[in-house]
Amino acid sequence: MGALVGLGVGVGLLLIWSSFTMPRTPRTTRGDGVTRLLARAGLADVTPTGVVLLCVVLAAVTFALVQAVSRTVPVAVVFALMAGWAPIGVLRQRALRRQRDFAEVWPEAVDNLASAVRAGLSLPDAVAALGTSGPEVLREPFARFAVDYQVSGRFGDALDLLKDRLADPVGDRVVEGLRVAREVGGGDLGRLLRNLSGFLRDDARTRSELESRQAWTVNGARLAVAAPWAVLLLMSFQTTVIQRYASPAGVVVLSIGAGLCLLAYRLMTRIGRLPVERRILS
């Protein structure tokens, strides 16, 4: 008896000690910024390490090419930094384009859900049916939802996986609305879906009009930032001229120019930026 008591006390002390000393395993369901960006861009299968390696390789190759042409280290470093940041910029643009594509088809998807429920299908079957009869851009995540639900039989867990795959603010609202409808039940599900469809359609129409009006601001900012660096790249073929930037004064000019371009771009995009919708319970 005394041995069992001693063993229990020892195990308890060991658990208390490990809770303070052993490192905690970070949550991997949400991931870091690169992981979330990949999910929003629809590239959840790509690893953040691969993106980082791509950035490093592009920066190294660009540095070698510009250095071979201009023979000026500061200029090569500037263009290497731009090339290294290019994959992140491409991912952000892909994520924004994917979000706009989703926003255009969500009303149609919710209308399909309402029609399926009105036809007598259960809510899980109606959601799974979007994998075959829903809008094209939404079929893959909903088809995987159907597989998850068939395997586990747990509607809530399958919705969580669906929300992670969509990684879309509007999708979060739709998924949470379906979760509430499933838990509460009642005969108002069809009316709830029709109201949600109308709200999403009005929201998408308003945002589309605002984006078309502020597009010139974003395009102007990009053109204003890219123009001086395009000129600098062309000057790199004139070795006697570009090597002036290898001096301390040239480094200062490049640093000030890069800082001003970055500041101006951030200001212009912030002035023309629309409110960014946040994800729900993500």
Provide the domain count of the chain: 1
Does 169 reside within a domain? yes
In whole angstroms, give the CA distance from residue 126 to residue 176: 15
DSSP 66-103: HHHHH--HHHHHHHHHHHHHHHHHHHHHHHHHHHHHHH
Does 118 reside within a domain? yes
Does 64 reside within a domain? no
Does 184 reside within a domain? yes
Is 43 in a helix, a strand, or coil?
Answer: coil
What integer pLDDT is reported at residue 276 of this predicted model?
Answer: 64
What integer pLDDT is reported at residue 77 of this predicted model?
Answer: 92
Does 128 reside within a domain? yes
Q: What's CA 163's distance to the chain center, in Å? A: 13
In whole angstroms, give the CA distance from residue 14 to residue 221: 59
Does 3 reside within a domain? no
What integer pLDDT is reported at residue 24 of this predicted model?
Answer: 41
pTM score, two decimals?
0.75
Length of the chain equals 282
Q: Are 264 and 224 in contact (CB under 8 A)?
A: yes
Q: Are 144 and 161 in contact (CB under 8 A)?
A: yes
In whole angstroms, give the CA distance from residue 71 to residue 90: 29
- Domain limits for position 177: 102-204
Q: Are 40 and 98 in contact (CB under 8 A)?
A: yes
- pLDDT mean values, one per 10 residues, the chain (282 residues): 53 55 41 81 88 94 92 91 92 89 88 85 88 90 92 89 88 84 68 80 81 75 85 86 86 90 82 67 60
Does 107 reside within a domain? yes
Does 264 reside within a domain? no
Q: Could you tell me which residues come within 8 angstroms of residue 173 by beta carbon, excluding any fewer than 6 positions away? A: 196, 280
